[in-house]
Structure 1
């Protein structure tokens, strides 16, 4: 991605963050009037964590999706389609029953453990260079298993309040998150995105084949382990705070590769920027619906992402036929 395109994306992201802070409209002029404390509280306590979490979570999903797609050499690989998001959600729900949803450190640990287990199982079942059919079947099986166990956990909820808290959280939400919760998601996400970006060169060489990558001095086994662990850490930390949000990790890398001329490793940072923009846009859509209430952001991303996924599968099938 050229510096010019990167600058354009940065400007668009800043505008999107500004819109996230101000929509629905916050009267900035009120900051200098007697009621300024109310407007300031809305911006700092409500809007700022929400916008920052959308930026962080979207960037993390985009970067993780690009890394997983590069690892499997498959454009259909993503954290939600490989079972990583479902595994993280399962780990967080089980942990929440033990420690409550107000324990972000425990939630993060449980969510990361679930994501790591799901992605490790996928790697063992499908292999590192899985074909599309194998990847989809293994990912769907792991997602179904994690979903069934999550439903079982909901059925065995210790109280009705725990059930409704877990159900609302599973649909994904950026609402009513605090700055302290933001730190639990943003810290690991920034750390993971930075480390994934450093793996751009070995991931690009891996696209040429394992033999080529090894001849260039890259340790393939170590690279796989790093991708699995980093993806689980980043996605798990974000899922623990905001719940499961799907399809951003699938869509963002596909657009990012068009900006990097098909280089999977170089698509990590552009995918992070596109993922952040997509999630901020989806969050804005949840507030501007004509239904008179805020929709769960996970529902919005699924409604937008599922048709794109179906189109992508059909497009790949047509290309195979041709």
Structure 2
């Protein structure tokens, strides 16, 4: 591994974190921002920093980190460079759960109903995918994930079609576009523990993924429990990405892009990709969130939309690159 990769990514994150606290409709000076963080006496700047921008920053780091980490783990587990959390239906399941909360009015009566239903949807989705693929291998898991994801997406579309009024449809569409706006410490406290537990489970798969890259028989001969690695990867993804999607909405492409940005620096070793991909994912989300606040094209650009606009060309390049490699 390039010894400067992780320190460089950490420095990048520190720079982006500082910029995130400064940036907004009203830019704050570094001195005023530091004073707001250190001085407990409440004023407007202190409230903006501590109650608005700081939880948004923490969520960006958590969400981006878990998306990048889960993408690296799934690409190593499935040995598929195009794998990412959406492939197994986690994001679609979380989206369906959140849409159910909005559609039936739970979100209007309980502020955290949307993320709670979203988390439940992600766990149910990954559970169903595991049940459908328990007697098969990697291909069976991918097919089960695609099937469950399609069903969940159909449920979301049906809810939009049958929305009782235009306001409900607008609220559902706004949530589906993904955003860190108006997120508070309540969202951090709700999603943070699940994301951290999911990340811990995913990080434990590093040795198993390195052995799995040699082949299933070789991995088993080295004493690696591939079924255990598989369960850690899937449930870690369900907990982490499910919680992230539940509080921010659907944000795609990060789990696909982040591992590829760092893989060339770690010798293409799956286990060595995990921590750099985590940092790269956090940097992508943080940079994109700053861009949505700084760039103005009329209406605010949602975070999920901005990431998709940047990620789609990368995905096309990746498909062409993989095709040339295989050929």
Using the size of structure 1 for normalisation, the TM-score is: 0.88
Secondary structure at the aligned position of 2:86 is classed as coil
- Partner of 1:38 in structure 2? 44
- Partner of 1:110 in structure 2? 117
Work out whether residues 120 and 228 of structure 1, in 8 Å CA contact, stay in contact via their aligned partners in 2.
Answer: no
- Would the alpha carbon gap of residues 190 and 209 (structure 1) be closer, same or farther in structure 2, given more than 3 Å must change? same
Rounded Cα–Cα distance in structure 2 between residues aligned with 1:86 and 1:176: 22
User: Offset of 1:154 from its aligned partner?
Assistant: 2.5
User: Offset of 1:183 from its aligned partner?
Assistant: 1.4
User: Offset of 1:160 from its aligned partner?
Assistant: 4.2
User: Offset of 1:317 from its aligned partner?
Assistant: 1.1
- Would the alpha carbon gap of residues 64 and 48 (structure 1) be closer, same or farther in structure 2, given more than 3 Å must change? same
Work out whether residues 201 and 232 of structure 2, in 8 Å CA contact, stay in contact via their aligned partners in 1.
Answer: no
Measured against aligned partners, the alpha-carbon deviations of 1:29-64 in whole angstroms (never above 9, x if no partner) come to: 55779x971111111111111111111100010011
Which deviates more, 226-235 or 157-166? Answer: 157-166
Is 1:188 matched up with 2:194?
yes
- Partner of 2:312 in structure 1? 306
Alignment counterpart, residue 244 of structure 2, candidates 238, 241, 252: 238
Rounded Cα–Cα distance in structure 1 between residues aligned with 2:116 and 2:186: 16
Rounded Cα–Cα distance in structure 1 between residues aligned with 2:218 and 2:109: 48
User: Offset of 1:201 from its aligned partner?
Assistant: 0.4
Alignment counterpart, residue 210 of structure 2, candidates 204, 209, 212: 204
- Partner of 1:26 in structure 2? 28
Count of residues in correspondence between the two structures = 317
Using the size of structure 2 for normalisation, the TM-score is: 0.87
Rounded Cα–Cα distance in structure 2 between residues aligned with 1:102 and 1:10: 40
| Long gaps (5+) in structure 2 | none
Measured against aligned partners, the alpha-carbon deviations of 1:88-139 in whole angstroms (never above 9, x if no partner) come to: 11122223445316747654443234324444555646954339xx95x766
- Partner of 1:73 in structure 2? 79
Work out whether residues 197 and 239 of structure 2, in 8 Å CA contact, stay in contact via their aligned partners in 1.
Answer: no
Work out whether residues 104 and 181 of structure 1, in 8 Å CA contact, stay in contact via their aligned partners in 2.
Answer: no
Rounded Cα–Cα distance in structure 1 between residues aligned with 2:305 and 2:43: 34
